[in-house]
């Protein structure tokens, strides 16, 4: 039962975020040239949709209106009544099979096993196999990513040295001009790792030694400002979420395309903020990018989760420099965040609000419920009868008849205090269900 519920959730989740990726990717492409910040937030919204399961009900959600695209609310609860009835049906079929074999004087071991229910067919087996393959791939990719980050941190600790005084002074001046108050550790990597920022709680700016030795002085300000703006925007957090999505949905090609598009759009947003903050020309900034690209032959980039070459990223940024405005409007940034929060309320919910688990149980066949309870009583299976009655009370509401019979079941199990409480509860309840349902 739990496996089928999990399979339904995963199936609906993959369908929903696939549609969201297609829709938001088109909107992101349309807004990428004039409004890169809006394009970035649309891709972040698609990233969040991949991580948030469709278990949030919201009548204003776009998926809540369509019954084929939304997860039905009744599928989220583990219906113990249905589970027990399926087990009882399986036992009844097995008993009938054994009775038929005995009446025809056949040996059970020669006639084969009893026929199974239809729900344990090849569809259920296929779902279990797919879940096992998905879980194995996710675990292997997670272990590989953790090993990569562990080796990176270990290498930075072993090969880093104290930065020169002029570099520390430049970083502090840029932090003050950019409004960054958080402390930033500066490490010069002897292994030529970087440039880049790592760490979410304790951010660290990693500068390769070859840059310190060979980079001209006029190119340092836009490069350092670029990395510090990454910290101010908390792009490290979005990078970690990007890793989580790629690990979780490693089999989905649109997820990897989303990661590539998100990395390029993030660089464009940061480049725009560098131009507006430093008031530098695109020509001077482009020169700094080319200088860094020339040193990439001896530098080792930090892992970003995407297999993008430095030349590809730099060429994309250089082509986009001419489209950047010299000023960044606060009003447009506020409008972008308002659009993001509105999209979050509309896209993240994925559960249909048309019907609840109580409504689903209320329309179940009463005759099947009575037969299941009577079968438990006749076979003296008091545990199953107790679970069935408690499930009916929790879904249909308290009735005096249900409490009386549940008290009788407790008496048979020698739970006298529980039986007494059920009998007292029955005295306070009004009769609202035929007693023939239980007895």
Please say if the pLDDT value at position 239 is more than 70.
Answer: yes
Closest residue by Cα to residue 274 from 266, 119, 240: 266
Task: Say if CB 72 and CB 355 are below 8 A apart.
Answer: yes
Q: Which residue has the higher pLDDT, 129 or 251?
A: 251
Confidence of residue 72 (pLDDT cuts 50, 70, 90): low
H or E segment and range at residue 149: helix 122-159
Which residue in this structure is represented by tokens 């010069």?
188
Q: Are 236 and 206 in contact (CB under 8 A)?
A: no
The residues, ordered by sequence, that sit 6+ positions from 341 with a Cβ below 8 Å of its Cβ are: none
Confidence grade of residue 87 (pLDDT, cut at 50, 70, 90)? low
pLDDT digits (tens, 9 = 90+) for 9-48: 788 888 889 999 999 989 988 988 888 889 999 999 999 9
Spatial contact of 232 and 179, defined as CB atoms under 8 Å apart = yes
Report the C-alpha gap between 36 and 272 in whole angstroms. Answer: 9
Residue 363 scores a pLDDT above 50: no
206: tokens are 């990693």
Q: Would you say residue 117 has pLDDT above 60?
A: no
How far apart are the two ends of the chain, measured CA to CA in Å?
Answer: 28
Q: Is 17 within the bounds of a domain?
A: no
**Residue 333 half-sphere exposure, CB side, CA atoms within 13 Å?**
8
**How much is the average pLDDT of 371-394?**
77
Asked if residue 423 is part of any domain, the answer here is yes
Banded model confidence at residue 310, pLDDT cuts 50, 70, 90 = confident
Q: For residue 293, what are its two tokens?
A: 């690209």
Residues 6 or more apart whose Cβ sits within 8 Å of residue 315: none
Whole-number pLDDT of residue 223: 92
Q: Which of 1-10, 118-127, 183-192, 247-256 has the lowest mean pLDDT?
A: 118-127
Hunting for tokens 């310190």 — which residue is that?
212
> Distance between CA atoms of 349 and 346, rounded to whole angstroms?
7
My answer on whether omega of the bond before 195 falls inside 30° of 0, hence cis, is yes
327 lies in a domain?
Answer: no
| pLDDT over 50 at 149, yes or no | yes
pLDDT in tens, 409-421: 888 888 888 888 8
Q: What is the pLDDT of residue 140?
A: 95
Residue scoring higher pLDDT (397 or 372): 372
Residue 425 resides in a domain: yes
What is the band of 88 on the pLDDT scale with cuts at 50, 70, 90?
low
CA 26 – CA 14 distance, rounded (Å):
19
Q: What is the pLDDT of residues 319-337, one digit of tens each?
A: 888 766 555 557 778 888 8
pLDDT of 396 = 63
Percentage of the chain lying above the pLDDT 70 cut: 73
Judge whether 398 lies within some domain.
yes
Give the number of other CB atoms < 10 A from CB of residue 183: 8
Domain count of the fold of the chain = 1
What single DSSP character describes residue 322? G
pLDDT computed for residue 332 by the predictor: 75
Q: What's the CA gap between 271 and 282, in Å, rounded?
A: 10
Q: What was the pLDDT predicted at 319?
A: 84
pLDDT at 106 exceeding the cut of 50: no
- Work out the mean pLDDT of the chain and round it to a whole number: 77
Taking the CB of residue 27, how many other CB atoms lie within 10 A of it?
A: 17
Q: What's the domain range around 432?
A: 365-437
Contact (CB, 8 A) for 246 and 260:
no
Percent of the chain at pLDDT > 90 equals: 24
Provide the CA 64 distance to its chain's centre, in angstroms.
19
Dist. CA 145–CA 28, nearest whole Å: 28
Confirm if 311 and 293 have CB atoms less than 8 A apart.
yes
DSSP string, 167-179: HHHHHHHHHHHHT
Q: What is the pLDDT of residue 314?
A: 83
The pLDDT score that the predictor gives to residue 229 is 93
Q: Who has greater pLDDT, 165 or 10?
A: 165
Q: What was the pLDDT predicted at 358? A: 40
Would the pLDDT of 168 be above 80? Answer: yes
User: Could you say which DSSP state residue 35 is in?
Assistant: -
- 380 belongs to a structural domain: yes
Residue 200 has what pLDDT?
Answer: 84
Would you state the pLDDT for residue 362? Answer: 43
Would the pLDDT of 54 be above 90?
A: no
Q: Can you give the pLDDT at residue 438? A: 40
Torsion sign across C-alpha atoms 117, 121, 124, 128: positive
User: What's the rounded Cα separation, in Å, for the pair 329 and 34?
Assistant: 12
Tell me, what CATH number does 414's domain have? Answer: 1.25.40
Give the pLDDT confidence score for residue 198 in this predicted structure: 87
Match 């960054």 to its residue by tokens.
180
Residue 75 forms part of a structural domain: no
- The tokens for 181 are 């108050």
Residue 322: inside a domain: no
Q: Determine the Cα angle at 268 with ends 267 and 273, to 5°.
A: 95
């Amino acid at each position: 039962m739990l496996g089928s519920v999990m399979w339904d959730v995963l199936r609906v989740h993959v369908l929903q975020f696939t549609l969201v990726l297609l829709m938001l990717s088109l909107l992101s492409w349309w807004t990428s040239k004039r409004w890169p910040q809006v394009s970035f937030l649309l891709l972040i919204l698609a990233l969040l949709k991949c991580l948030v399961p469709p278990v949030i009900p919201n009548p204003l959600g776009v998926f809540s209106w369509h019954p084929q695209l939304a997860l039905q609310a009744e599928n989220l609860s583990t219906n113990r009544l249905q589970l027990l009835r399926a087990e009882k049906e399986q036992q009844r079929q097995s008993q009938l099979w054994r009775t038929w074999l005995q009446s025809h004087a056949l040996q059970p071991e020669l006639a084969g096993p009893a026929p199974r229910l239809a729900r344990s067919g090849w569809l259920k087996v296929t779902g279990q196999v797919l879940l096992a393959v998905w879980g194995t791939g996710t675990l292997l990719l997670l272990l590989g990513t953790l090993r990569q980050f562990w080796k990176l941190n270990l290498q930075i600790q072993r090969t880093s040295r104290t930065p020169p005084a002029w570099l520390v002074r430049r970083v502090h001046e840029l932090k003050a001009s950019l409004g960054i108050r958080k402390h930033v550790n500066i490490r010069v990597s002897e292994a030529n790792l970087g440039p880049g920022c790592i760490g979410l709680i304790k951010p660290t700016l990693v500068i390769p030694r070859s840059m310190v030795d060979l980079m001209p002085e006029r190119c340092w300000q836009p490069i350092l400002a670029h990395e510090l703006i990454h910290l101010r925007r908390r792009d490290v957090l979005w990078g970690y979420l990007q890793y989580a999505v790629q690990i979780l949905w490693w089999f989905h090609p649109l997820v990897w395309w989303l990661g590539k598009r998100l990395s390029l759009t993030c660089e464009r947003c940061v480049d725009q903020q560098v131009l507006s903050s430093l008031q530098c020309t695109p020509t001077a900034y482009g020169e700094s990018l080319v200088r860094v690209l020339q040193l990439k032959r001896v530098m080792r980039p930090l892992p970003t989760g995407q297999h993008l070459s430095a030349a590809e990223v730099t060429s994309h940024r250089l082509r986009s420099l001419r489209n950047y405005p010299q000023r960044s409007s606060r009003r447009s940034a506020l409008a972008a965040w308002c659009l993001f929060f509105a999209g979050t309320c509309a896209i993240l919910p994925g559960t249909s609000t048309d019907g609840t688990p109580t409504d689903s149980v209320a329309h179940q066949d009463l005759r099947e419920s009575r037969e299941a309870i009577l079968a438990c009583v006749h076979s003296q299976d008091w545990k199953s009868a107790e679970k069935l009655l408690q499930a009916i009370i929790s879904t249909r509401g308290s009735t005096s008849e249900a409490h009386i019979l549940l008290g009788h079941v407790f008496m048979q199990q020698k739970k006298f205090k529980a039986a007494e409480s059920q009998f007292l509860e029955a005295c306070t309840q009004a009769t609202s269900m035929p007693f023939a349902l239980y007895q």
